[in-house]
Structure 1
């Protein structure tokens, strides 16, 4: 990113430019495969990621619950076992995180479909996954994996937007499923 494009007093524009630039490089066919996997009705979905990737996965899982999917986050005490016919979505920048790779291996052995969002499409996780949505982070002015994690959340919100466009009264249904314990 060219630091000269954004005045230093407005760093939020620099973040926005990075996200926009990355979103422009997303493979539409890979995105469509993710949407297609979530169109299958009646499937249980499990989400996972470690660290901040896990936080992005948790936020996305909530939205998928809002549109009516049966969703669990791995590691939560109420998450049941992953079995054949289920789906597992994992967010991992490196695609090498041992816990994430282990979860993918177990899910595949059980007959679940695995989706991976990673910026390393040649990684071990990507090799296990049935569907890979590459998030091609190259350089960033932000610390650590921030650009990757932000973009993954936006991409999964875009999947929700796509799916919700085919659900009658989607926003009304989503508000009905939104927590009322706040």
Structure 2
């Protein structure tokens, strides 16, 4: 690596700008009715459970934490302290492809129990999307779109791109943070309310 390459950071900055443009398109394409349904489900839920695998799981954990800060009862599926799901609960499943087996299998269990299933995905016609009560579609390249990614590189159309499912995961993270912002507005929660529930044992 040359000193010039290190100081310009051309690909780093270009990747950020690529994501900024992508997020603008995601925001413009959001379906307001689906978002309203999601917000209504979350506010009426007895408890909220979040499912996600890999990096999507990390996005889900951050969302569950923010829900807790808002005073909502939230849990991450797979944690040792997570209780059983009931028919009065809401399950939020996060999967870019919508085909992740572990997520879709758990989504089906939630539906069989009678819980409300919300999916965050880039493919509304996927396995998880088709079984969900509400689908939030976030356009983005999923991990299954490897062929298109490689093809673009071979043609030299882009010398930088976010790898694998990064576009979806970043979009999901930003979207779910925006959901929290909307919930703060709806509930009238204050900064002090959120801070009062922040961990104080570290």
Q: Give the TM-score normalised by structure 1.
A: 0.89
**1:108 is the counterpart of 2:128:** no
Higher relative contact order (CA 8 A, sep 6+): 1
Aligned pairs for 1:9-88 (under 5 A) are 10-11=13-14, 12-40=16-44, 43-88=46-91
Deviation at 1:14, TM superposition (A): 2.5
Q: Give the TM-score normalised by structure 2.
A: 0.81
Determine the C-alpha separation between the residues in 2 that align with 1:73 and 1:144.
24
Determine the C-alpha separation between the residues in 1 that align with 2:52 and 2:67.
16
RMSD over aligned CA atoms reads 1.7
Q: Which runs of 5+ in 1 are unaligned?
A: 1-6
- Tell me, what secondary structure is at the counterpart of 1:132? strand
Aligned residues: 175
Determine the C-alpha separation between the residues in 1 that align with 2:172 and 2:112.
26
Deviation at 1:148, TM superposition (A): 0.5
Q: Which runs of 5+ in 2 are unaligned?
A: 1-9, 142-147, 150-160
- Tell me, what secondary structure is at the counterpart of 1:69? coil
Q: Which has the larger radius of gyration?
A: 2
Identify if the C-alpha distance between structure 1 residues 98 and 166 changes in structure 2 by more than 3 Å, giving closer, same or farther: same
- Tell me, what secondary structure is at the counterpart of 1:10? helix
More helix by share: 2
